[in-house]
């Protein structure tokens, strides 16, 4: 079977943190499992480099947006590799080839009358003399009443709807009450595609009722989507109008097409798995398939599965910067190998901890007990056993079934229970290691070598010390803070206080 697996790297303008990896880590488990089963997989990740959020932060830092995203790209990609994220490609929306793809895709839609240009009332700040696309606009969501930015409601769990027009809109730069001005924008009606899209959404999997509900709701609330914005940081469609660019969501959705082999999208049998936050559902469920159907270029919208990762709200992020609890990838990977951090995320998720705030002590205790002691012991015991024993087909079968269902929590729990079971046989462990390797690939590889007799140990035998790790980690973070300019700190804090990321949300 052929699979297209996708996950995004959110917040490319921020310091890369462990929380940013969560969607990719979940996609990674599935991509690794499918490959191990012999399926053909293309796993695409991408950074959304355009849009008003990037422009907003770059402005505050006194940098050009391109400069900011280039820096972040150089900083981020090696960290993802160190985390063992097995992407086939990490796409960039500022890539000239992608920009050309988007431009010709949309121009053709326009020529064929699928997209029209029409006057749209857009917010404008008289004090800043600036049109206010999404991130530059603050106000209240017309659906739930929460304070948010424009474009999409920031209350991502309870609402997260696309916002056509904001209530009580103010300029996010200066706080001035906005005026509305009619501007010509490109608009794609999406309702004509509803009946062709709905049968495919979630049809491949169980437990998709919430996704289907949100997609239906988007079709009802937003019959057409404005595809352009008044911002210069993006892809201009017409050379003479560089201030009007493609809406960053349309831009980044089309990166899923431009960044993957064409035959993958044109094969109706390809299974598409989109790992995303609940807030991505209206875009992946409505806007992307509508764009593809409107284009009539033979891109398939069948086997369309959205996998919103709703359970884990990882409070290690931008919002805890002030309390110092954030887990920043660069420093985290300097004190411990990526597999331990992967383990932490899956373990937290498997325990269904809805608000996973990070505690060194708890993290280190789990690693010591379950891996450094538990896994090492069971492998040592199996190696010393007189025979390889029987293969536990039933438990391995159950694990594979969880993987196939994309039940990542279940697959993790079952795999971990099996590999640290004191009674597990060598024959079973040999078959279980590739499955454990979907979660913690490097540790599983060492365990396999140990089982095959080509290594003495998996770990070096010393339990981790949470005090020691915390001190080393904190020293590295402080060192980076010292290097950061004051301006950067201030901008980050400002960006934080206005942050609309999901980890910001408290239980409603
Ligand atoms: Zn203003
Ligand atoms: Zn809302």
Mean pLDDT, the chain, rounded, equals 87
Average pLDDT rounded to a whole number, residues 162-189 = 90
CA of 159 from ligand 2 middle (Å) equals 4
Q: Are residue 298 and residue 342 in the same domain, yes or no?
A: no
Residue 226: what are its φ and ψ, rounded to 5°?
A: -80, 120
Q: Is residue 456 part of a domain?
A: no
Quote the number of domains for the chain.
2
Q: Each residue of 111-156: pLDDT tens digit?
A: 999 999 999 888 999 998 888 888 889 999 999 999 988 888 888 7
**Do 244 and 388 belong together in one domain?**
no
Ligand 1 mean position, distance from CA 175 (Å): 6
Distance of CA 265 to the CA centre of its chain: 21
Q: Which domain holds residue 439?
A: 337-451
Mark whether 188 and 288 lie in a shared domain.
Answer: yes
Residue 488 maps to a domain: no
How far is it, in rounded angstroms, from Cα 271 to Cα 255? 18
Residue 479 counted as domain residue: no
Please tell me whether residue 181 adopts helix, strand or coil conformation: strand
Ligand 1 centroid–CA 237 distance in Å is 26
Regarding whether 125 and 43 lie in a shared domain, the answer is yes
pLDDT 10s digits, 21-33: 888 999 999 999 9
d(CA 248, CA 230): 11
Task: Identify the CATH number of the domain in which residue 239 sits.
Answer: 3.40.50.620
Which ligand is closest to the CA of 124, given by its number?
Answer: 1
CA of 210 to the centre of ligand 2 (A): 17
Mapped onto helix, strand or coil, the DSSP state of residue 170 is strand
**Residues 377 and 309 grouped into a single domain:** no
Query: Ligand 2 centre and the CA of 155: distance in Å?
Result: 6
pLDDT tens readout for residues 414-448: 999 999 999 999 999 999 999 999 999 999 999 99
Q: Say yes or no: 191 and 272 in one domain.
A: yes
Whether 507 shows a pLDDT value over 90: the answer reads no
Within-domain flag for 493: no
Residue 320 in any domain: the answer is no
Same domain, 377 and 244: no
CB 343 within 8 A of CB 369: no
118 and 264 in a common domain: yes
pTM: 0.89
Output the pLDDT for position 356: 63
Summarised one tens digit per residue, pLDDT across range 35-85 is 999 999 999 998 889 977 788 788 878 889 999 999 889 988 999 999 999
Express each pLDDT in 337-389 by its tens digit: 999 999 999 998 888 766 666 788 889 999 999 999 999 999 999 999 999 99
Residues 342 and 304 in one domain: no
């Amino acid at each position: 079977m052929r699979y297209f697996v996708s996950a995004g790297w959110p917040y490319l303008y921020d310091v890369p943190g462990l929380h940013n990896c969560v969607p990719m880590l979940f996609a990674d488990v599935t991509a690794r499992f499918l490959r191990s089963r012999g399926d053909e997989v293309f796993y695409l990740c991408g950074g959304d480099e355009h849009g008003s959020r990037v422009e907003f932060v770059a402005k505050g830092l006194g940098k050009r947006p391109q400069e900011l995203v280039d820096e972040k790209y150089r900083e981020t990609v090696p960290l993802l590799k160190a985390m063992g994220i097995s992407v086939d490609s990490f796409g960039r929306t500022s890539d000239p080839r992608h920009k050309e793809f988007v431009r010709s895709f949309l121009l053709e839609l326009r020529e064929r009358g699928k997209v029209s240009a029409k006057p749209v009332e857009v917010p404008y700040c008289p004090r800043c003399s600036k049109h206010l696309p999404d991130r530059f606009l603050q106000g209240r969501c017309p659906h739930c009443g929460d304070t948010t930015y424009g474009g999409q409601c920031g209350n991502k769990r309870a609402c997260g709807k696309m916002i056509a027009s904001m209530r009580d809109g103010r300029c996010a730069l200066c706080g001035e009450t906005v005026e509305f001005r009619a501007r010509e924008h490109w608009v794609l009606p999406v309702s004509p595609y509803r009946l062709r899209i709905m049968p495919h959404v979630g049809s491949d999997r169980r437990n998709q009722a919430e996704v289907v509900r949100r997609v239906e709701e988007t079709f009802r609330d937003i019959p057409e989507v404005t595809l352009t914005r008044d911002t210069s940081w993006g892809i201009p469609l017409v050379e003479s109008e560089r201030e009007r660019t493609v809406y960053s969501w349309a831009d980044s959705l089309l990166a899923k097409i431009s960044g993957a082999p064409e035959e993958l999208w044109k094969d109706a049998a390809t299974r598409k798995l989109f790992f995303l936050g609940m807030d991505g559902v209206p875009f992946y469920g409505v806007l992307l398939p509508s764009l593809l159907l409107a284009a009539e270029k033979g891109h398939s919208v069948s086997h369309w599965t959205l996998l919103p990762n709703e359970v884990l709200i990882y409070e290690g992020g931008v919002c805890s910067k002030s309390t110092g609890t954030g887990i920043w990838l660069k420093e985290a990977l300097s004190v411990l190998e990526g597999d331990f951090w992967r383990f932490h995320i899956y373990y937290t998720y498997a325990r269904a901890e809805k608000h996973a705030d990070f505690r060194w002590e708890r993290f280190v205790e789990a690693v010591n007990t379950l891996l450094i002691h538990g896994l090492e012991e069971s492998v040592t015991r199996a190696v010393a056993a007189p025979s390889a024993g029987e293969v536990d087909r039933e438990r391995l079968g159950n694990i594979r079934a969880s993987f196939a269902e994309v039940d990542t929590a279940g697959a993790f729990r079952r795999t971990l229970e099996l590999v640290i079971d004191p009674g597990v046989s060598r024959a079973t462990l040999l078959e279980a290691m590739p499955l454990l390797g979907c979660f913690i690939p490097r540790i599983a590889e060492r365990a396999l070598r140990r089982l095959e007799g080509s290594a003495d140990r998996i770990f070096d035998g010393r339990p981790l010390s949470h005090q020691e790790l915390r001190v080393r980690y904190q020293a590295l973070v402080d060192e980076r803070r010292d290097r950061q300019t004051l301006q950067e700190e201030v901008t980050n804090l400002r960006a934080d206080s206005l942050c609309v990321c999901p980890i910001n949300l408290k239980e409603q």
